[in-house]
Chains A and B, each alone.
Chain A
Amino acid sequence: MYHLGRKLLSAKRFKGAITALLGLAIALPSLAADTPNLDKINDRGTLRVGMSTFVPWAMRNTQGELIGFEIDVAKRLAADSGWKVEFVPTAWDGIIPALLAQKFDVIIGGMSVTPERSKSVLFTTPYSHSGVQVAANRELADGFSEFSDFNSRRVKIAARRGAFTVQVARETFPKAKILQFDDDAQAFQEVINGNAHAVIASSPKPEHEAVKNSDKLFIPFTERLSKGNEAFAVRLGESDKQAFFDNWIQARTDDGWLSERYEYWFSTLDWQNEVATGQ
């Protein structure tokens, strides 16, 4: 080993390398106590937020500007921390790879905490708790009111691809056939057209749609299927950022700001005039 080392490096450089390594070993524990990842954002002064269009979490208003629950959360987070905010619109399928590839600092995109995702990203404490609900076609699912009614090989259920709802659908209705679509609008259209029995999506979209298309859709269950926990996601090992965001979420949960905003975007339709609402 030493022989090889001498061959590759001159004695002087070898000594230098050893010294540098030792120095690094001594310095490492003190580095870990610091907040290197958070400092990067502080140095830049801008928080880069990865998000994906998903009504009413984040969407474009008629003028093409971003609005929605997520957008409010990210803007407030940046304002409280003295940063500017920059949104990086990202296709949902590639949002985790894009986070890992350092395209942005954090995902604030209505992402539900799941064990699978926890293997590749680090979640903060949840900042919202949305549910999952089913809207069914009046003709095809006539008289269905129990979970077991939908758990049949003949039943087709539409959902958004890659979303948490697909997993809920698989767990709740293991026998049913799950049709996956690129976005919610297509999934709802499929049920309205009578090509699928029901659509599963995050509340309150099914409730809103059932009201709008009351001749075609109804809500078969009285309770929501599953309580999702949405959280910010950062890269694995960035525990300094996680701790910082956890503190912020705790503070905004305690003063009721998060639930007030959630109420506005999810329980009222006051914002509907800002977007050209169709479906």
Chain B
Amino acid sequence: MYSGIKVSKTDTAEYVEAPKSKLRLNKLDGILLVIIALVGCWLYYRSSIGVNYHWRWGDALSLVFTPRADSSLPYFFQGLIATLRLSAWGMLLAFTLGTALGVARQSRLKLIKAPINAFIQLVRNIPPLVFVFIFYFFISNQLIPLLGLSELLRGHSGDINALQAFLFGPAALWENLISGVLCIGILSSAYVAEIVRSGLANIAKGQWEAADSLGLSTWVKYRYIIAPQVLITITPALAGQAISLVKDTSIVSLISIQEMTFVGTEIANSSGLIFEIWLLVGFIYLAICLLLSLFFKRLELNTLRHQRK
């Protein structure tokens, strides 16, 4: 579409630098900073007299980094990796299913549109936690045996190769992982579908008509006319959805998917180092989500390249 417009490197550099301004503080900033510092001090003071808690960061950190008896990764890090795995597969499922649903919703056939609408409204209007419970105990329990997966997953005892172990983790937890991915992926797909729908609705009617009058096939129309424009408008919303998906993975700890929050609960309860472990868990979620939002910011700049002229 935009291949005719060549963007030189210098143009891009200028655009990136332009909105940057020198960091200068005015009077209001100064006053606000002082107030924030005072509130911080007061909170620290309150927590030192109001909470009788012996902080033991050294113990907590050494506990988190203690390798397992068979000298494999520490238990805490196994949880972290499970969270990353869950997020990655969840995003893959949510984005593919969500896009498919969003596009299918454009269909003129009531028979296709109505059930998709019902699904999206149902999922979006139930609290995530309630959805996870209902989905896990009533649907996923029927779905997995129905697909013939339960025997495959539970009965699997043979060796797995390195690639399988990297992608899906230990075989004993495969069923656990799949339940989690299904919950998270289907939950998010409803939101992604809604984002895709709004993106499609945003495309000017003329673009559709122009594509049709050129006699382009449906695939070519979507691939080269519609999709590039939709992607630009929905990238920020998708970024938000990806980040909330990562945070939603903590909800599935309640159905015993053994990810970071679940592992954190177990370690905190066993060791009694509750606040330290929870702060660590919170910090790691923060780091993952910050990295993700940085990544999407880059992606967004990338998709906007053609507008910088």
Instruction: List A residues at the B interface (Cβ < 8 Å).
Output: 44, 53-55, 59-65, 86, 88-91, 93-94, 97-98, 101-103, 182-186, 189, 192-193, 213, 216, 275-279
Please determine whether A89 and B268 come into contact, CB atoms closer than 8 angstroms.
Answer: no
- B269 and A276 form a contact (CB under 8 A): no
Decide if B69 is an interface residue (CB 8 Å cutoff): yes
Q: Which of B23-31, B52-60, B85-93, B200-208 lies at the binding interface?
A: B52-60
What class of interface size applies to chain B in its complex with A? 35 or more
Q: Are A64 and B74 in contact (CB under 8 A)?
A: yes
Q: Does B262 lie within 8 Å of A63, measured CB to CB?
A: no
Interface residues of B (CB under 8 A from A): 50-54, 56, 59-60, 62-63, 66-69, 74-76, 78, 133, 137, 141, 155, 172, 253-256, 258, 262, 265-274
**What number of A-B contacts does a CB cutoff of 8 Å give?**
102
Interface of A, secondary structure class, is loop
**Given A89-B256, A101-B137, A275-B271, residue A193 in contact with residue B50 (CB < 8 A):** yes
Complex partner residue of A277 from B133, B253, B254, B271, CB under 8 angstroms: B271
Q: Are A101 and B141 in contact (CB under 8 A)?
A: yes
Partner of A94, one of B50, B155, B255: B255
Which residue of the partner chain A has the closest CB to B137? Answer: A97
Contacts of A183 in B (CB 8 A): 265, 268-269
* B256: chain A residues within 8 A (beta carbon): 88-91, 94, 98, 103
A64-B74, A101-B141 are contacts. A278–B271 as well, Cβ < 8 Å? yes
Question: Quick check: A278 and B255 within 8 Å, CB to CB?
Answer: no
Given A61-B270, A62-B63: A278 in contact with B68 (beta carbons within 8 A): no
Judging by beta carbons under 8 Å apart, are A185 and B272 in contact? yes
- Minimum C-beta distance from B175 to chain A (A): 9
A166 to chain B, nearest CB (A): 17
With the chains together, A185 CA to B274 CA distance in Å?
7
The secondary-structure label for the interface of chain B is helix
Q: How far is the CB of B232 from chain A (nearest CB, A)?
A: 42
User: Closest residue to B258 on the A side, CB-wise?
Assistant: A89
**Docked-complex contact B269 and A64, CB < 8 angstroms:** no
7 contacts between A and B (CB under 8 A): A63-B69, A64-B68, A88-B256, A101-B137, A185-B272, A186-B274, A193-B52
Q: How far is the CA of A97 from the CA of B155 in the complex (A)?
A: 22
Instruction: Contact check, B254 vs A279: say whether CB atoms are below 8 A apart.
Output: no
Given contacts A60-B267, A185-B268, 16 further A-B contacts (CB under 8 A): A60-B266, A62-B66, A63-B66, A63-B69, A64-B68, A90-B256, A91-B254, A91-B262, A91-B265, A94-B255, A98-B137, A189-B51, A193-B51, A276-B59, A278-B59, A278-B271
CA distance A183 to B267 in the complex (A): 12
Is the Cβ of A276 less than 8 Å from the Cβ of B50? no
Give the distance in Å from the alpha carbon of A184 to the alpha carbon of B269 in the complex: 8
Known: A53-B266, A276-B273. A63 touches B75 (CB 8 A): yes
Question: Are B76 and A64 interface neighbours, CB within 8 A?
Answer: yes
Contacts of B266 in A (CB 8 A): 53, 59-60, 89
User: With contacts A63-B68, A64-B75, A86-B172 known, is A275 near B262, CB below 8 A?
Assistant: no
For the complex formed, measure the closest distance between the CB of B263 and the CB atoms of chain A, giving whole angstroms.
Answer: 8
Provide the bound-state CA to CA distance between A156 and B78, in Å: 39
**Residues of chain A within 8 A of B254, CB atoms compared:** 91, 93-94
Taking the nearest CB of chain B, how far is it from the CB of A204, in angstroms? 15
Measured between C-beta atoms, what is the minimum distance from A99 to chain B in Å? 11
Q: Which of A60, A213, A216 has the most CB of B within 10 A?
A: A60
Assembled-state Cα–Cα distance A44/B157 (Å): 11
- Residues from chain A with a CB closer than 8 A to the CB of B267 are 60, 64
Which of A54, A61, A64, A90 gathers the greatest number of chain B CB atoms within 10 Å? A64
A contact residues around B253 at 8 Å (CB): 91
Chain A nearest CB, measured from B231 CB (Å): 39
Chain A residue at smallest Cβ distance from B267 = A60
**Whole-angstrom CA separation of A175 from B51 in the bound complex:** 27
Least CB distance from A65 to B in Å reads: 6
In the assembled complex, the CB of A112 is this many whole angstroms from the nearest CB of chain B, namely: 18
With A86-B172, A89-B256 as given contacts, are A278 and B56 in contact (CB-CB < 8 Å)?
A: yes
- Chain B hits for A189, CB < 8 A: 51-53, 274
Find chain B residues with CB under 8 A from A91 CB.
Answer: 253-256, 262, 265
Which chain B positions have C-beta within 8 A of A101? 137, 141
Q: Which residues of A contact B50 (CB under 8 A)?
A: 193
A97→B306 CA distance, assembly (Å): 54
Please give, as numbers and ranges, the residues of chain A lying within 8 Å of B74 by CB-CB distance: 64
Q: A259 to nearest B CB, angstroms?
A: 24
Closest residue of B by beta carbon distance from A48? B154
